[in-house]
Amino acid sequence: MMQPVIKAVDLVQVINKKTVLDGVNLEVFPGEALGIFGTRGTGKTTLLHILAGIDRFTSGTVEILGCDSRKSNKFKPHLSLVTQERSLFQELKVAENLDFLATLRGGSRATITQLVERLELTDILSQPVRILEAGEYQRAALACALLNNPRILIADELIKDIDLPSRRLIIKEVQRFMADGGTFICGFSNMDYACQMSRVAWLAKGRITWYDPAEARSEWQRQVQEFAVKSGEAND
């Protein structure tokens, strides 16, 4: 049977006495696009950062590429994370970020050139990251994340509130990453994006319910409708 690239068992995260993750179990398989959906503050970022091996957690186990994430760092060269907060070097130019991160994480000149071309970064290469618009920033951040040719890409709200051309370029690049055998995990709070995923993990009250994308969308519509009826907004 196919081994999962990431596996979490009974994962619990308590932050300031609040149980944010309350026994999460999940397996992500090679080549999957797993969407982690939740409304505001439900713990998507918390979960994604634990799955990326960058945050400690209260209890449970997390295996990334067969390594216990608390005991080994061996998975690190094969995993990249695009955070929701802007984590590229703000004062450096886009080109400098690419060069620096390629040196740090291993990425060839040819890879930089290809990513710059595909994500249409040429015109912003000499701009400092801090002045980029949201879509420009996300394209640059994705390029930086793909420099080292990772097997796993984890992203938090990769295409939220960005211009349509950027969104199209990013979706195309992620599809390319997946066609090359990559595994993608993405946190999102807008159900419109569910169709980009192969499975949806819906996070609520610290726990996950699994859906296929179409089911998740209809469940979301049902909940929105129910909420509208309860609050007296619906006419029928």
Ligand X SMILES: Nc1ncnc2c1ncn2[C@@H]1O[C@H](COP(=O)(O)OP(=O)(O)OP(=O)(O)O)[C@@H](O)[C@H]1O
Near ligand X by CB under 6 A: residue from 61, 111, 149, 189: 189
Instruction: Tell me which residues in 88-147 interact with ligand X (CB under 6 A).
Output: none
What is the C-alpha to C-alpha distance for residues 106 and 126, in angstroms, rounded to an integer?
22
Give the β-pairing of 6-15 and 18-28.
Answer: antiparallel
For helices 94-105 and 134-146, give the axis angle rounded to 10 degrees: 20
Q: Using CB under 6 A, which of the segments 34-42, 117-125, 133-141, 211-219 binds ligand X?
A: 34-42
Tell me how far, at minimum, the Cβ of 176 lies from ligand X, in Å.
26
Locate 108 and state its tokens.
């060839």
Q: Starting at the earlier edge strand, list the strands of the sheet with 6-15.
A: 18-28, 6-15, 59-64, 67-68
Tell me how far, at minimum, the Cβ of 168 lies from ligand X, in Å.
23
Tell me how far, at minimum, the Cβ of 15 lies from ligand X, in Å.
4
Nearer to ligand X, 184 or 202 (CB): 202
Nearer to ligand X, 47 or 145 (CB): 47
What is the C-alpha to C-alpha distance for residues 19 and 142, in angstroms, rounded to an integer?
31
Give yes or no for residue 41 binding ligand X (CB under 6 A): yes
| String of contacts with ligand X for each residue 141-180, x by CB under 6 A | ----------------------------------------
Give yes or no for residue 44 binding ligand X (CB under 6 A): yes
Give yes or no for residue 16 binding ligand X (CB under 6 A): yes
Instruction: Tell me which residues in 62-91 interact with ligand X (CB under 6 A).
Output: 84
Residues binding ligand X (CB under 6 A)? 15-16, 20, 38, 40-46, 84, 189
